[in-house]
Amino acid sequence: MIAYIIRRLLYMIPIILGVALLIFCLFTFFGDDPVRVALGQHASPDAIANLQHLWGLDKPIYLQFIDFLKQIVTFDYGVSFSTGQKLSDMFMEGAFVSLSLTAPPFVFGIFISISIALILAYYRDSFIDHMARFIIIMSMSISYLVYIISLQYVLAYELDLFPIMGYEPGLESITYLFLPWLIIVIVALGPNTRIFRTLFLEETSADYVRTARAKGAGEARVLFKHVLKNALIPIITNTVVAIPFLILGAFLMERFFSIPGIGAMIITAINEGDFPVLKGMTMIIAIMYSFFNLLTDVLYSFVDPRVKLS
């Protein structure tokens, strides 16, 4: 396994280089001129030249790309064009806020979805199963934005159970995050439960399930011991690969609830043409996605001994 991990890490190097080149070209050749965005269209040539020199945009293209590679290796993406703050500090602060918003409902939602999916698989084709599937489809048909606005209006504004918006660091943040947590769980519950129920039902037709039933194992034992264990590989795939995107936060949620996470940071960077923030965040997510793909493969071998890493 150690040899496999080392080999996969080495394979990641050309992939990351390719992604870095693509991101650099997109922001350099196809994006707006950040100097023009910062100074406006009527800026003097001297002001443009000074800002280009300050930001290192007057260097040859290949030197700018080398500087970008150095930033990736050192995790030092310079400073924000709009705020002058060090980007690594901004990312760390924003990532903590975004994870505090997205991670708890993600974990809790996966647990609830698996539990409900197992129950529906147990009562498959019954009235409970049909009603649950109807409710799931109805919930999936409602827009994410509708959940945010309606629950924010009813629970926060009308009933005054939660703050309408805002964020406070420390334990006080729970007061502000509870309603967003509730919305994220509700929104994700339908799609996750539907996927997991399908996975469990596919496993119930496997040979090992028929063998277990022939040996006298009850339906509950078959589902919770055998089916759940063998369905963990696709569940791990759906779960682990989604982890990097938790750091991106929830754009709409952060916007509507004024939560200063990565999502709000990216929206601000887009509005202000802050290319270092956008370029650095895109590169970080690409690296994390590659790393968690590797982690997914490694976890496969722990869940299912039949999976061989090669």
CATH homologous superfamily of domain 89-303?
MetI-like (1.10.3720.10)
User: What is the structure's pLDDT at 303?
Assistant: 63
Burial per residue of 120-159, b for 16 or more beta-carbon CB atoms within 10 angstroms, e otherwise:
bbbeeeeeebeebeeebeebeeeeeeebbeebbeebbeee
Distances (CA, A) of 199 to 90, 181, 192, 194, 206: 40, 26, 11, 9, 11
User: What is the structure's pLDDT at 63?
Assistant: 87
The phi, psi pair for 262, rounded to 5°, reads -65, -40
User: What is the structure's pLDDT at 112?
Assistant: 92
User: Look-up: residue for tokens 């196809």?
Assistant: 30
What stretch of H or E contains 208?
Answer: helix 207-214
pLDDT (tens digit, 9 = 90+) per residue, 53-104?
Answer: 777 777 888 888 888 888 888 887 777 877 778 888 888 888 888 888 888 9
DSSP state of 79: B
The lowest-confidence range among 4-18, 38-52, 121-135, 158-172 is 38-52
What are the domain boundaries of the chain? Answer: 2-74, 89-303
Rg (CA), the chain: 24
How far apart CA 257 and CA 152 sit, in angstroms, is: 9
pLDDT (tens digit, 9 = 90+) per residue, 226-245?
Answer: 787 777 777 877 787 777 77
Q: Is the pLDDT of residue 273 over 60?
A: yes
User: What is the structure's pLDDT at 248?
Assistant: 66
